Structure 1
Amino acid sequence: MRRLPLFLILSILVLLAATLKTPDVASANSGKHDDDSAAISYSGNWGYGPNSSRAYDASLSFTNQTGASASFNFVGSRITYIYAMAWNRGEVEVYIDGIFREKFSAYAPEIRWQVARTWRLPYGSHNIQIKAVGNGYIDLDAFHADIPYSPTGTVDNTPSSYVQYIGYTGSNGWTHASNFPEAYGGTVSYSRTGQDGVSFTFYGDRITYVYNKAFNRGRAAITIDGKDLGYIDLYSPTLQWQQSTTFDGLGWNIHTINISVTGQKGTSATDSFVDVDKLTITGGNSFVGVELRVDTIPITHAGKYSHRLWAGIERSDRAQEGEFVTAWFSVNLAPYQHDSAGTTIVYSGKFSQVGLMVTATGIRWFVYSEAKVECLRGTKYWGDIGCLGEVSDLVDDGYWHTVELVSTGQGYWLARVEGVE
C-alpha cells in the first residue's frame, strides 16, 4: 500500500503529545542545525516527522498547540529559521534574545519546502525562539547560524556552481541538463514533480529569476523571505529562451528566494515543467555589497561615508597590468586628536582603516590595522597588518562608481559600490 506523504495527513492528524528533552543547551557554532539537534530545546507538545524527504536532513518537527515553542542558542551575526509553508499552517511569533521581533503566517496554498527567514544581529551569543500562535500548525525544519549568501552577480542553475548558496529539494525529480546552447551557460535545471523546489540565499536589493518558456511548462510558486509572491506561468506556445521576472525593492539585506514546482499548468500546456536557467542579484544598479566585521577595532565613527572612484583601467592594458589598483577609499577608525595648533591630526592609538579597493578585475574590501584584526571567512592576512578580501564582483571598467561605507554602530560596516549612470 502506498504511504501517504506527511503533509497530506497533517490536517486530519490528531497530534500526539511528545515529551521532548529540554536540556540546558550551550551556544551552538555556525552552520545548519536540524530540528532533531540536541542544541534545540522544545516546550509543549511537538510531533516529529522523520520521513519528510524534502525537508532538510529528511525530518521536521511540528505543533498546533498555542504557546508551544522551540529555542536555539547560537554564536554568530545572523540567524535563519527554515520551515515549510502549507495550507494547514498558522502564525509564528519570533523572539530573539527575549525581544519580540515579528509575527507572520506560514500559510501557502500548496506545500513549499525549506522556506527561510534571516535576521541580522551584532556578532555574539544569541537566542532565537519560535512560538506557535494558533490557527494551524507551525514547524521547525532547521536553524542556520551565519548562513552563507551570494554577493551580487549572476549565478548559473547548476548546483555545483554556487553549491553553498543554491539548493534543490526533491533531487530525484530534478534534471540538470547541459545540452542547451541557447540557455545561459548552456545549462538548465528542470522538474515537473510537485513540491520540488530550489532555494537561493543572496545579499542585495533585487533578484532576477531567468527561465525558459515552452509549450510543456507549468506554474512556479515564488516565495522570498517567507512572503508569498504568487505564481509565474512558464507556458508559451513557442520556445522562448532566457525570459525573466525581477523582484525588486527587497531592501539591501540578506534574502532567500524559493522557487517551487506546483505541478499545476494551464489548459493549453502539455505538461507542468518548471526550470531555472540563472539568477541575477543586484542592489538597484549596485555591483557589489559586502559586510565588514571589525569587532576588534573600536568603532569611533558613525554614519555613512561616500566617494566616487574610477573603476579599472583601459581594457587594452588589462593583460599587462593585471590587478592594477586604480583607486581606494577608506574610513579611519583610530581615535585621534589635533595638535596644539589645531591643524595636524595626532593618533593616540593604533592606526586602523576599513575600506574598499578598486582593481582592474573587481572590488576588494580591506581592513588595515597596526593592531590585531580578526579576518573574515574568505579573506586573508595582508602583510601582517590587516585583512584583504578576495575579488568580489566585476565592475564596469572605465566608468565612475559611487562607493559607500556605512557604520552600523554595532561593530559592523556595510559597503556597496554602485555604477554611475
Structure 2
Amino acid sequence: MRAARGRSFATFAGGEVDIRLAKATAGTAGPGVQVESDATGAVRLAPVSRLIDNADPAVVYTGTWTPDQETLTANDHFGTQATSNTAGSTAELTFTSTGIGLYSVKAESRGIIKVFIDGTLADTIDLYAPIGGIGGPSELVFRSAALPHGQHTIKVECTGTKGPYANGRYGQIDAFHVVNPIIDSASGRIVYSGAWTHSAAQPWTSGDLHGTESYSKQSGDTATTTFQGTGIRVICCKGPNEGIAEILVDGRPPTEVDLYAPTKQFQQMVFEHSGMPDGEHTVTLKVLGRKNASSLASFVVIDAFEVIEPDPYASTTNPGVDLIVSARLNYTRLNWGNYIDPPINLPAGWSATARLRLLP
C-alpha cells in the first residue's frame, strides 16, 4: 500500500471536524492506516476487525434478498445491508471461532427472523421497533452461546411473519460478528526468536488447532504475542518428547510448566493468567532446554494463545479502535446522515493505527 495524504471534512453532532489521512503502510501484520483529527470533535468509530459484512462472498444467500440502496444504509456497517420479506429465504455463513453475533437494524417495517447454529434453532428474533424511515442504528440482535473452537455455521432465515405493530415483514442482515480469541501458532501475530520449526498438515499436527504447531528445544528461544483483554491462556502439546517451558506475562515473575506426558496430548491448556485490567498485554513463552527425568527430549510445542475478554462483543469505548468506518460518517453539507449513535470525542492531534480490509 502506497503512502498517501488527503483531507476531508465531516459534520458530527453539529460540529465540523477536519480529518486527515496521514499515512498508509504495509507491515508484517498487514496494511495499516493512520488517521488524525485536527480539531476537537466527534468521529464515529467501530471495532470492525471481527465483522463480516453482509456483502462478503462468504455469506451464501438463498431465496429473495435485496441489497438496499445507499440512502437506506447510512446506519449500517460498511454502508451495506440485505433485506427480504420472503418466507424461507436464508443467509448462511461458515466460520471458525468460539462464537458468532448478528448485527441488524430494527425498524417499524421489520418482521421476525430465525437464527440457527450448526443446524439447531438458537433464537427467534423480532426486529420490529417503533422507528420509521431507515430505522435505528445497527445493533447486535443475536449472540451465540460459547462454542467449542472450530468450524461452525450460522443461518438466518426470514419467516415472512411479523409482530402485531409492524407494518412490514422484512428480515435484515447488516453484518456478522465473529468471536475468535485464538491466536494460532501460524497466525503471524506471534513473534518467534530463535530456531523454531513451524509445521502444518503433518501427522504429528493432526490434533492441533488449525493443524499447525511450532516447536523448539533450543534454550532461550521465545514466542511472544501482544493481546487486548483481561487474561491469557497458553495452549501447548504435551508428550513423551516435551520439556519445560517458562511463561511471562507483562514482566511478572515467570512460571515454569512441565509439558511432559507419557503419550501425545493435543490442545492442552498449560497456563492461565486472568484478572488483569482490560487493555494491551504481552505474553512470552520461553524454551528452557530442560526436562524431567521421564522425558525423552526437551521440546516445547506451542499450539496457540487464547485471549480472555470481559465481553467479546463489546464495542470499543476508548480511542484504541481498529478502523474508522466511513459509511457511518455524516458527511458535511448533506441533508441526511447518522445522527443517532452517541459520538466518541477525540482531542486535537489524536491518532490511531488501524487495519483496513478492502471489499471487492
Q: TM-score range by the shorter chain?
A: 0.3 to 0.5
Larger RCO, structure (CA 8 Å, separation 6 or more): 2
The TM-score normalised by the length of structure 2 is 0.40
The TM-score normalised by the length of structure 1 is 0.35
